[in-house]
Amino acid sequence: MRDAHDDVAATPVAVRALAAVAQAETRDAVLETGCAAAKVVLPMAADVSVTVLAADAPRTVASTGSRAVRIDEAQYAAGEGPCLQAAAGAEPVLVSDLLAEERWPAYRPAATAAGIRASLSVPLRVGADLVAAVNLYAEQPQAFDGEAGALAPDLVRYIAAVLAGAEERQRATRLAEHLQRAMDSRAVIEQAKGILMVQRGCNAQEAFDALVRISQESHRKLRDVAEQLVAQVGR
């Protein structure tokens, strides 16, 4: 009799794997830990990868090993395969048994030669920025026909949700860094203006105009000009 643990990992193990995904801070880290978590949650998956449909060509951006990459690249070279179909579409693409499969004749030999008999590719979407698929490869036929096949889309939706959060955090971090640089620039420019006001006996607007002229004539950023002036006075 088939045990439930043949299809999904024990809950504590799966929770730890999913928690690692949630703790990742960048897109690459989320995708890499997502692949690793998929192997834990769905232990019948021998290899896992993520295919992204980029503007120039599809590519594998995360995987659990070189075999998954080779299988993906065989599909890219053939211009056909379940990972490409899933990434371009909206529905998971299930292959129960590659030996009985009639689709993708240019791709099948490479997968079977690598020891793969079944696969499941699930679309992964994060806004308009990421069009991809999570690819699960198994060495046994019908590996994803049961509970695993039903659980995989939920797992991919979870990865997508974490990705969206990670990208929001990255955007917030970049904005904070930009604001910090802007505030730093403003502070040093104000210092430089004060120096020129004292040196030239001019008002704030005249001092700022002088900084702008120096910046334009020397083809340097206004902040760089201000920093140099402040540094000179400091010395």
* pLDDT tens column, 87-143: 999 899 999 999 999 999 999 999 999 999 999 999 999 877 778 999 999 999 999
Please check whether residues 112 and 192 belong to one and the same domain. Answer: no
Instruction: Answer yes or no: are the C-beta atoms of 69 and 47 closer than 8 Å.
Output: no
**Distance of alpha carbon 30 from the chain centroid:** 7
Give the count of domains, the chain. Answer: 2
pLDDT of 38-83, one tens digit each?
999 999 999 999 999 988 899 999 999 999 999 999 999 999 999 9
Measured between its terminal Cα atoms, the distance across the chain in Å is 83
pLDDT of 175-192, one tens digit each?
666 667 767 778 888 888
Mean pLDDT, the chain, integer: 87
Among 116, 137, 171, the domain boundary falls at 171
Angle of helix 27-41 relative to helix 147-200, nearest 10 degrees, comes to 160
- Tokens 């000009």 correspond to 225
Q: Tell me the whole-structure pTM to 2 decimals.
A: 0.70
pLDDT of 208-223, one tens digit each?
888 889 888 888 888 8
In the predicted structure, residue 5 carries a pLDDT above the cut 80: no
Please check whether residues 9 and 24 belong to one and the same domain. Answer: yes
Confidence of residue 170 (pLDDT cuts 50, 70, 90): low
What residues contact 37, with CB distance under 8 A and at least 6 apart? 14, 17, 18, 20, 21, 155, 159
CA dist 41 and 72 (Å) reads: 21
CA dist 78 and 208 (Å) reads: 62
Q: Is 25 helix (H, G, I), strand (E, B) or coil?
A: coil
Among 171, 193, 210, the domain boundary falls at 171
